[in-house]
Structure 1
Amino acid sequence: MPAHTPSADTVGVGIIGLSASGGWAARAHLPALSAVPGFEVRALSASTPRSARAAGEKYGVPLAFGSAEELVRRDEVDLVVVAVKVPHHRELALAALEAGKMVLSEWPLGNGLAETEELAAVAEARGIRTFVGLQARSAPPVRYVRDLIADGYVGEVLSTSLIASGRRWGAEFDQGGAYLLDRSNGASLLTIPFGHTIDAVTMALGEFTDLGATMATRRPKVHNETTGEPARMDVPDQIAVSGVLEGGAVASVHFRGGLSRATNFHWEINGAAGDLLLTGDSGHLQFGQVTVYGSRGEDAALAELPVPGAYSTLPALAGRTTEEAYTVAHAYQQIRADLTAGTHHAPDFAHAVRRHRLLDRIERAAGF
């Protein structure tokens, strides 16, 4: 089937996984799409026809289906958003690609490198535009820091150090997060918060040319936060990566499961002429909720560097920087710009392959 081409004015969106009971699609994708001109949510699918109808009524979405197969076949849908758990990404993204539809998949794209490479190959063979939800690179503070570095704020980058907490993968888990404890599901500390964050780090500072890694599961037994019942966790809850980036900067990155009583996000960029610091309350940089500090010159104290307004051009989200939709909306804004201008700046399935290859490289270096 030929690739579907959206109208020049509006991109019709179908969301797989939009539920009336909430979830990431409802909290992030739906308000983000409503804030970006040029998108219209026309369809959704859920696990059953009944739940789909409930979601359609709650969110005012005209087409509601009990299966993704029905959604991807509709002419009203130009872009299919896959917003479900990682183990289902491959089958749903393939269905959309086979229907000739553009696809935006949540990150990680596939359950491992092989699935990701397969999806990218199918998209390339069919000539279909794709996107992946690595929205940390779209966050206004991250783009601002990238530009500060490119403009020479710190001079030559000598090193970067990052320490962060994953919030989940700690001593307790909530019932909805039980599947995150099993490595075979592909949704881990490495693939989710580390993956999002390292994508932003490499965007700002360059890719790893050399690296070493250590990973460990220090809490093999964790407990349900409600019932107290124990459960086995085989996902590494400690990830330490060190190496050299393009340009020669030395990098050190340490992610820990759970939360720390001390530091939960601290990213330093040290240069010959200055320093930058980003701080936040968790290692999920994809939420974009960080504060930027900087210092240049001898004996200059660190001071906050407010993100210029030019990095946030969505009036509908003014003053809403703490909402989960804020960074996702900026990612959609880049997607819309790419579709309008024919550019390829937003991360796509081919980019997802590069990022999955880095994660695979880290696992192999750590002996996993």
Structure 2
Amino acid sequence: MRAAIAAGKDVYSEWPLTTSTEKAEALARLAHDAGVRHVVGLQRRLAPHNRYLRDLLADGYVGALRSVRMHVSMNYFQARLSQALRWTVPPENFSSVIAIYGGHFLDMIFSAVGWPRTFSALMVNQFNEITIAETGEVLRTTNPDQLVATGTIEGGAVFSVHIEGGKRNNSGVQIDITGDQGDLRITNVSAFGDIGEDYVIEGAHGDDIPLATLPIPPSYNWLPESGLASSVLELANVYAAFARDAAEGTRTAPTMDDAVRMHRLIDLFAESSDNGSRVRVDEAGSQLDRLPD
């Protein structure tokens, strides 16, 4: 990628951008200095359901935001892994369930509702020995397989996030958003998103009324109807956004700057967990100070 940037080429990277915040910051500086366009595959923020959610919130469907709760789980990243996932075991590869899935889903929800300003976090390793299924080889790891974080976001609403790997049954995505005039619920039976595993948005605007499905308008899909898996459709929408940005000079697709912000946030979650501290951050996601308990 460095060679492409040096040659003045626009660049695309999957998430995680690099294996550390420092490397991500250095790569972002190179791209800025070279004046090239850069895109990072934090694709869930541009998924049709998430853009529709942002508009519902901006249009006042729930009124003033009061709370956001997200639970994401998947039945892989257990104590047994296939040989194909062996690369996720070494902590230095920054490829844990929190690094990969956490990054995608934290970016998705916070780009819709606002970013954390204060929080406390707990990151836990419950599978410290990983067995490779095909060979029986046992590998030790310190990778976290659960993240629990609570705090406040921009505007003062409270948030709670729980991301966990290794859930044996009933995994998926559940998000509840509460305002002073209504509620929203966003669900998916899968944290990955295969064919037919689409997000469902339900809402109620008013008081003590049942949630009703809010179909995502077709206009939120920037591509022709295709029958693609929802995870593939998310990525295709990022490419569509990048093409539009390049043609019109806009900045819609997520960039290395967004990736750096996510790298910093995950670092701060880890620091809060290690130190038992409550953290306050600025609008760019950089730590300002630790708050008293």
Please, what TM-score do these two structures have when normalized by structure 1? 0.71
Structure 2 SS opposite 1:201: helix
Question: What displacement does 1:166 show?
Answer: 3.9
Match of 1:122 among 30, 33, 37: 30
Question: What displacement does 1:263 show?
Answer: 4.5
Are the aligned partners of 1:208 and 1:245 in contact in 2 as well (CA < 8 Å)?
Answer: yes
Say how many residue pairs are matched.
274
Larger Cα Rg: Structure 1 or Structure 2?
A: 1
Aligned to 2:209: 300
Aligned to 1:35: none
Q: For residues 268-290 of structure 1, what are the alpha-carbon distances to aligned partners after superposition, in whole Å with 9 as ceiling and x for unaligned?
A: 11111111111113334799832
Q: For residues 188-218 of structure 1, what are the alpha-carbon distances to aligned partners after superposition, in whole Å with 9 as ceiling and x for unaligned?
A: 2222111111111111111111011001101
Aligned to 2:238: 331
Question: What displacement does 1:323 show?
Answer: 5.0
Aligned to 2:67: 159
How has the CA–CA distance of structure 1 residues 281 and 185 changed in structure 2, closer, same or farther, with 3 Å as cutoff?
same
Are the aligned partners of 1:139 and 1:286 in contact in 2 as well (CA < 8 Å)?
Answer: no
Give the Cα–Cα distance (whole angstroms) in 1 for the partners of residues 5 and 66 of structure 2.
Answer: 43
Give the Cα–Cα distance (whole angstroms) in 2 for the partners of residues 323 and 345 of structure 1.
Answer: 20
Q: For residues 264-316 of structure 1, what are the alpha-carbon distances to aligned partners after superposition, in whole Å with 9 as ceiling and x for unaligned?
A: 3111111111111111133347998321111121221112211101101311x
Please, what TM-score do these two structures have when normalized by structure 2? 0.88
1:1-368 equivalence runs, <5 A: 93-284=1-192, 289-315=198-224, 318-322=225-229, 324-367=231-274
Query: Once superposed, which parts of structure 1, at least 4 consecutive aligned residues long, lie more than 4 Å away?
Result: 284-288
Are the aligned partners of 1:183 and 1:235 in contact in 2 as well (CA < 8 Å)?
Answer: yes
Give the Cα–Cα distance (whole angstroms) in 2 for the partners of residues 107 and 356 of structure 1.
Answer: 10
Are the aligned partners of 2:40 and 2:256 in contact in 1 as well (CA < 8 Å)?
Answer: yes
How has the CA–CA distance of structure 1 residues 323 and 225 changed in structure 2, closer, same or farther, with 3 Å as cutoff?
farther
Q: For residues 132-177 of structure 1, what are the alpha-carbon distances to aligned partners after superposition, in whole Å with 9 as ceiling and x for unaligned?
A: 1110011101111111011111111100111111443212211111
Q: For residues 40-98 of structure 1, what are the alpha-carbon distances to aligned partners after superposition, in whole Å with 9 as ceiling and x for unaligned?
A: xxxxxxxxxxxxxxxxxxxxxxxxxxxxxxxxxxxxxxxxxxxxxxxxxxxxx212112
Aligned to 1:40: none
Are the aligned partners of 1:197 and 1:286 in contact in 2 as well (CA < 8 Å)?
Answer: no
Give the Cα–Cα distance (whole angstroms) in 1 for the partners of residues 222 and 16 of structure 2.
Answer: 27
Question: What displacement does 1:232 show?
Answer: 1.9
Q: Which runs of 5+ in 1 are unaligned?
A: 1-92
Give the Cα–Cα distance (whole angstroms) in 1 for the partners of residues 69 and 240 of structure 2.
Answer: 30
Q: Which has the higher contact order (CA 8 A, sep 6+)?
A: 2
Are the aligned partners of 2:194 and 2:230 in contact in 1 as well (CA < 8 Å)?
Answer: no
Q: Which runs of 5+ in 2 are unaligned?
A: 276-293
